[in-house]
Amino acid sequence: MPGWLARLPERAYLSGEPEAWLSTERPLVMVLDQRRASEASRALLGHEGIHEHVPLFAATSLAPLQEAGPWAVRLEPGSDAWRVGEALCRERRLGWCCQPLPTTDGDDLIAHLQGLFVWADPHGGQSLVNLQDPAALTALLAGAEPATLADVLGPFGELATPTPLGQWQAWQCPEPNDALDASRRLTVDMEAALKEAPQAWFLAERQGIRLDEVDAIWLEGLAVLNRHGITRARHLESLLPYVQQMAWRESEESRKILDSDQPAWRKVKALRKRMEMLQAQDRDTYAWTM
């Protein structure tokens, strides 16, 4: 299992209903990927309980992308706006939320958020992190060194992200350590985690398991299909048994199919036919040995 997935149980815990960690006395800040659901996001702003919304790319170097950028929405816990926004985050993976401490200045929190979208990367350049996506934020927090984790989480107070199983998980902030390097840059491990996150989320969601239960072999199997042009969710879903069997995908027959010049849908059809044949052979072998 990749290290970032193995660290998840140490850094975040399933919190059950939001009421288990929410205080009804402090406003919430919800970060929404409004680009992926612009109509639903605009409708949310009309519900009771909204204090303000801030386009997070405004007045930053990412301002040209503002129309497609995420929002920070400040709202009241328990309000109609919270009920609708919570469902958008948990059911549609459209965002996450935090509940800052009363001592946290609102403008400082927004500035902290805005500083988390662009990171120095291991290649000497800069990378845009889709922080509004719970899968990306989960990978970032799970893959970070402890000092970086404390630096990112500190101003948020209580921070919670949805999971592939439609639950909430709350993150635990480690004690800051001035002796450790908390510079804002992606490590090789963090970059790898961000690349693996969509595949890990897909597998956990389709298999009905926790992220930390996703097998590295499955991740590699999905990556192999992606590298050979098979990227549509319905195609990948139909090949899940194939993804989980390393011997199947490493066979000479499978490599020939993947390396061929066929369009993706033909590769999927050929792989499914081969998968069904191998499944039948396995059933016959089991019946013979009983």
- Domain match, 51 and 101 both: yes
What's the whole-model pTM score?
A: 0.90
Question: Which residue, of 186, 201, 226, is where some domain finishes?
Answer: 186
| Nearest of 204, 208, 275 to residue 235 by alpha carbon | 275
pLDDT recorded at residue 290: 47
Percent of the chain with pLDDT over 90: 73
Determine, yes or no, domain membership for 195. Answer: no
| Cα 125 from Cα 138, distance rounded (Å) | 22
Residue-range definition of the domain harbouring residue 284: 215-289
pLDDT recorded at residue 128: 95
- Domain match, 168 and 64 both: yes
Report which DSSP code applies to 160.
Answer: E
- Domain match, 136 and 220 both: no
- Domain match, 41 and 174 both: yes
Determine, yes or no, domain membership for 277. Answer: yes
Whether the CB-CB separation of 204 and 165 falls below 8 Å is answered with: yes
pLDDT recorded at residue 282: 63
Determine, yes or no, domain membership for 265. Answer: yes
Q: Which residue has the higher pLDDT, 176 or 66?
A: 66
Whether the CB-CB separation of 168 and 90 falls below 8 Å is answered with: yes
What are the structure tokens assigned to 67, written together?
A: 């129309």
Whether the CB-CB separation of 13 and 7 falls below 8 Å is answered with: no
Whether 266 shows a pLDDT value over 80: the answer reads yes
Q: pLDDT digit string (tens) for 172-219?
A: 888 766 656 667 899 999 999 999 999 999 999 999 999 999 999 999
Hey, is 27 helix, strand or coil? coil
Determine, yes or no, domain membership for 199. Answer: no
Whether the CB-CB separation of 159 and 171 falls below 8 Å is answered with: yes
Report which DSSP code applies to 146.
Answer: H
Specify whether the backbone of 16 is left (phi greater than 0), alpha (psi in -120 to 50) or beta: left
pLDDT recorded at residue 21: 73
Question: Which residue, of 143, 168, 186, is where some domain finishes?
Answer: 186
Please tell me the total count of domains within the chain. Answer: 2
Whether the CB-CB separation of 271 and 242 falls below 8 Å is answered with: yes
Q: pLDDT digit string (tens) for 5-51?
A: 999 999 998 877 777 777 888 899 999 999 999 999 999 999 999 99
| Nearest of 257, 190, 187, 266 to residue 224 by alpha carbon | 257
Give the pLDDT mean for 113-127: 94
- Domain match, 15 and 158 both: yes
Burial profile 73-98: b = 16 or more Cβ within 10 angstroms, e = fewer = bbbbbebebbebbbebbbeebbbbbb
| Nearest of 5, 71, 76 to residue 40 by alpha carbon | 71
- Domain match, 178 and 236 both: no
| Nearest of 71, 23, 36 to residue 50 by alpha carbon | 71
Determine, yes or no, domain membership for 205. Answer: no
